[in-house]
Amino acid sequence: MQNAIYLASASPRRKELLTQLGIEFSQFSVDADESQFENESPIAYVERLARLKAQSGVAMGYHDRPVLGSDTVVVIDNQALGKPTDKADFIATLKRLSGRTHQVLTAIAFASTERVISQVVTTDVTFKSLSNEELDAYWQSGEPQDKAGGYGIQGLGGRFVTHISGSYFAVVGLPLYECEKLLSEF
């Protein structure tokens, strides 16, 4: 196994992906204000959150090995889309994504008491045109409620994707290649 790290995330998807790299890690969650600043670009927003999560882990006392923070946002028309607040918000969000290409930005950051480094990975994802029946059935599945942009590519939402250009793993929540590369630079 490679050097041990901390994962500052409660995400089961990130835990599963990090396991694939063969990196020994301990996982914990951080409580961070994830509000987007006024006039903050989606790329600056997602990178700030990844850095904040990693640095929060260090501040919590996890500083004997690197702390990995990560965040993912779905972006369309240069607007970051959060998790749906209710069914109406979910429907409105997926109607915006329907038949179009959007971006998924995933930022990763490693922090210690001495420094923090980060990277943002951008992936283009194209959806087929979605019917009201498909949207209703997907909402009823329970999957979209806790997903940025209202869908999970690794689950039932994957059936809406017609094309992807970039890192599939970044869309799931942790870009494997970039994560391993950034850790080796750290």
pLDDT score of 99:
98
> How many Å apart are CA 70 and CA 75, to the nearest integer?
16
Q: For residue 148, what pLDDT is reported?
A: 86
Contact criterion met (CB below 8 Å) for 171 and 122? no
Q: Is 6 in contact with 68 (CB distance < 8 Å)? A: yes
pLDDT of residue 82: 87
Structural domain including 171 reads: 2-185
Smallest CA-to-CA distance from 170 within 126, 122, 130, 136 is with 122
Q: What is the pLDDT of residue 107?
A: 98
| Mean pLDDT, the chain, whole residue set | 94
Q: Name the amino acid, one letter, at 81.
A: L
The Cα-based distances of 4 to 8, 51, 149 in angstroms read: 13, 19, 32
List, for the chain, all residue ranges whose pLDDT scores fall below the cut of 70: 1-3
Answer yes or no: 71 catalytic: yes
Question: Total domain count for the chain?
Answer: 1
pLDDT tens-place string over residues 39-76: 999 999 999 999 999 999 999 999 899 999 999 999 99
Crossing angle of helices 176-185 and 12-20, rounded to 10°: 70
Task: Find the catalytic residue in 31, 33, 64, 71.
Answer: 71
- CB-hemisphere CA count at 13 Å for 88? 0
CATH of the domain at 141: 3.90.950.10
d(CA 25, CA 12): 13
**147 contacts: CB under 8 Å, gap ≥ 6:** 83, 157
